[in-house]
Amino acid sequence: MQKPKKDLLGLKDLSEEQITNILETAKTMKYIMSQKNKKTGHLVGKSIVTLFYENSTRTRISFEAAAKYMSAFTSSVSVGTSSVSKGENLIDTAKTIDAMGTDAIIIRHSMSGAPHLIAANVKACVINAGDGMNEHPTQALLDIFTIKEKKGTIKGLKVAIVGDIAHSRVARSNIWGLTKLGAEVSVGGPATLIPPDISKMGVKAYNSVQEAILDADVVMGLRIQTERQKSGLFPSVSEYARFFGIDEKRLTLAKPDVLLLHPGPVNRGIELSTSVVDGEKSVINEQVTNGVAIRMAVLYLYTRESDD
Ligand code: CP
């Protein structure tokens, strides 16, 4: 087995074998999660710190739950109440956390490349929990885990990613991961929200959601990332919902046993109708559960490396 690098910064850097190893480890972690007593000794004596410069519900809580289930010491830096608010810069903040004997720093930041910058300056392993528009590797791993659990394989599946591709780190990480595992990926959305060179990543691009999801095995809706858009890239939210939102009628264009994914948080009635969010094709809540299993696997595999 190829050893993981010190840090998990993106799926672009991982081999198919490394991705598969994380997915296989997560199966064991999901079994542990299903037990009445979820406590294991995998991370006894390890110190894990979450450092989030952007808001989060799922990623932060699931990393913290994962670390606690495996008996790690956990700390959470709230940027608003830390010395960041006194002007301390990113590298000094990370070095300060590192100097406390931290084994893993989990970082989310609005700047693409922030985790890479930290990784080059600390001994701790750095795990990217979302950097700007670049990557969100553990989100894609949990998405791929969910698809594989339901479909048995990734190879040969048609996966359509629909919405704000341009600003989506989730889309980028999924494209890297899914194509490495042999899926056929298409993206769909308004031309202003699809990067012109996206086909270089090995995907087909459509400006029609109907074309993108035709015969798909998996449809992944994405949130409109208004916080990252510099100017209006579509006329109005209601027009976006009308032309690019996924509802029950549009979902019938995909295969009858299609899976509907969304990384959350969902803006109901915009990218997905409420009926599909809560419908029988939706695996959105299972994605959240699998997020804990994947983060348990990642924390175990990456902090274990530093022991070797
Ligand atoms: N999917 C995701 O990253 O959700 P949060 O922003 O709630 O962590």
| The pLDDT of residue 261 | 98
| The pLDDT of residue 81 | 80
| The pLDDT of residue 3 | 59
Longest pairwise C-alpha distance within the chain = 55
The single residue listed with the structure tokens 């109907």 is 210
Q: Which residues are catalytic?
A: 58-59, 86, 108, 136
Residue of 153, 149, 50 whose CA lies nearest to 105: 50
Q: Is residue 227 in contact with ligand 1, taking CB distance under 6 Å?
A: no
Residues 172 and 169: their CA atoms lie apart, in Å, by 5
What are the DSSP calls for 248-282, one per residue? HHHHTTS-TT-EEE--S---BTTTB-HHHHTSTTB
| The pLDDT of residue 230 | 64
Q: Is residue 264 in contact with ligand 1, taking CB distance under 6 Å?
A: yes
Q: Which one of 58, 135, 138, 225 would you pick to mutate in the ligand 1 pocket, going by the greatest count of ligand atoms within 8 A of its CB? A: 58
Residues 31 and 26: their CA atoms lie apart, in Å, by 9
Residues 284 and 95: their CA atoms lie apart, in Å, by 36
Residue of 268, 264, 270 whose CA lies nearest to 289: 264
Tokens found for residue 197: 């060179």
Q: Is residue 225 in contact with ligand 1, taking CB distance under 6 Å?
A: no
Residue of 118, 142, 103 whose CA lies nearest to 303: 103
Nearest protein Cα to ligand 1, atom 3: 59
- Amino acid sitting at position 119: A
| The pLDDT of residue 199 | 94
| The pLDDT of residue 85 | 83
- Amino acid sitting at position 155: K
| The pLDDT of residue 5 | 83
Nearest protein Cα to ligand 1, atom 6: 56
What pTM was estimated for this model as a whole?
0.96
On whether the CB atoms of residues 89 and 62 are closer than 8 A, the answer is no
Question: Given the CA of residue 57, which atom of ligand 1 is nearest to it?
Answer: 7
Tokens found for residue 66: 């994962």
| The pLDDT of residue 231 | 65
Question: Given the CA of residue 136, which atom of ligand 1 is nearest to it?
Answer: 3
On whether the CB atoms of residues 22 and 290 are closer than 8 A, the answer is no
Nearest protein Cα to ligand 1, atom 1: 263
Buried/exposed 164-179: b ≥16 CB within 10 Å, e otherwise: bbbbbbbbbbbbbbbb
The single residue listed with the structure tokens 């803006």 is 267
pLDDT tens per residue, the chain (308 residues)? 565 789 999 999 999 999 999 999 999 999 999 999 999 999 999 999 999 999 999 999 999 999 999 999 999 998 888 888 888 999 999 999 999 999 999 999 999 999 999 999 999 999 999 999 999 999 999 999 999 999 999 999 999 999 999 999 999 999 999 999 999 999 999 999 999 999 999 999 999 999 999 999 999 999 987 666 666 667 688 888 999 999 999 999 999 999 999 999 999 999 999 999 999 999 999 999 999 999 999 999 999 855 55
Residue of 253, 250, 292, 295 whose CA lies nearest to 272: 250
Q: Mind listing the domains of the chain with CATH numbers?
A: 16-136+288-307 (3.40.50.1370), 137-283 (3.40.50.1370)
Residue of 51, 48, 52 whose CA lies nearest to 101: 48
Residue 205 has phi, psi (to 5 degrees) of -115, 140
| The pLDDT of residue 84 | 84
On whether the CB atoms of residues 94 and 105 are closer than 8 A, the answer is yes
